[in-house]
Structure formats: structure tokens, C-alpha cells
Amino acid sequence: MGDVTEHKYESDGTIITSKYAFKYDLKGNWMEKKETKTANIKQYIPDPQYIIKRTIVYY
């Protein structure tokens, strides 16, 4: 389990790269996911870094 990279190809030739980074708990479930987007052109304005956090309660 680790980081994931995804490429999206636009019709104008732009390649948008999304990188996902995960943090896991001791049981192997992800507790935090960060998404960062970049592109191969200077005019691209990326979305801000997107962070999702979750809490899992074990009984």
C-alpha cells in the first residue's frame, strides 16, 4: 500500500497529474488521504491540496 499517481489527458494536450498520498493506522486502514494536482502547462491553475481525514473506531 502506498502513494498513487493518476494521469488525465485533456483534448488540448494538457496532462493533469493527480497524486494521492495515504497515511494508515496499525490495522492497515487509511486514516488520511491527500490529493495534489499538477499539469504540464504554466497556465494551469491547480486546485488547492485536498485532504480527507477519517476516524475508525474498533470495538
Give the list of residues 6+ apart from residue 15 with CB closer than 8 angstroms, or none: 7, 8, 9, 39, 40
pLDDT of amino acid 20 = 95
pLDDT of amino acid 53 = 96
pLDDT in tens, 7-56: 999 998 889 999 999 999 999 999 999 999 988 887 777 778 999 999 99
Question: Full-prediction pTM beyond 0.85?
Answer: no
pLDDT of amino acid 48 = 87
d(CA 10, CA 16): 8
d(CA 37, CA 57): 31
